[in-house]
């Protein structure tokens, strides 16, 4: 499996730092990954839905630790590059909005590997 594209949408929130979409092998897209600032640093949360009992269930997720770590490393690296673009004035800063539409091209980094 190869991550062929990563798109990042930054957010200006205390814990939610952004959203990511990844394309696998130029053939399959997973949208709605969350980039979260946790007690131990950044991590990604997989897209999920809320169950009737109030708990959350992942909609899509890696089935082994190696794949999870690969995704996390690449998404967090893309997130940091996107922050650098903001610092360099190349794109506007993040918005304070918890929704994700996937179409905000001004604040999305598109990266192909």
In contact, 111 and 96? CB cutoff 8 Å: no
Inside any domain, residue 99: no
Domain extent at residue 39: 3-91
- The residue among 96, 44, 50, 48 whose CA lies nearest residue 70 is 44
- Local confidence band at 1 (pLDDT 50, 70, 90 cut-offs): confident
Inside any domain, residue 80: yes
Q: pLDDT tens for residues 68-109?
A: 999 999 999 999 999 999 999 999 988 665 455 554 444 444
Question: What is the tally of structural domains in the chain?
Answer: 1
* Non-local CB neighbours of 98 within 8 Å, separated by 6+ positions: 11, 13, 16
Inside any domain, residue 10: yes
What radius of gyration, in Å, describes the C-alpha atoms of the chain? 14
Q: Look at 12-16, 28-32, 33-37, 99-103 and tell me which has the smallest mean pLDDT.
A: 99-103
The domain spanning residue 12 has which CATH number? 3.30.1120.40
């Amino acid at each position: 499996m190869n991550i062929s594209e990563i798109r990042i949408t930054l957010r200006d929130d205390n814990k939610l730092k952004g959203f990511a979409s990844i394309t696998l092998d130029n053939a399959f897209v997973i949208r709605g990954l969350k980039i979260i600032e946790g007690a131990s640093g950044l991590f990604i949360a997989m897209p999920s839905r809320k169950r009737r009992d109030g708990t959350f269930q992942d909609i899509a997720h890696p089935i082994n630790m190696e794949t999870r770590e690969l995704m996390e490393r690449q998404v967090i690296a893309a997130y940091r590059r996107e922050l650098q673009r903001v610092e360099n004035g190349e794109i506007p800063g993040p918005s304070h909005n918890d929704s994700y539409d996937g179409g905000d091209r001004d604040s999305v980094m598109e990266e192909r590997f």
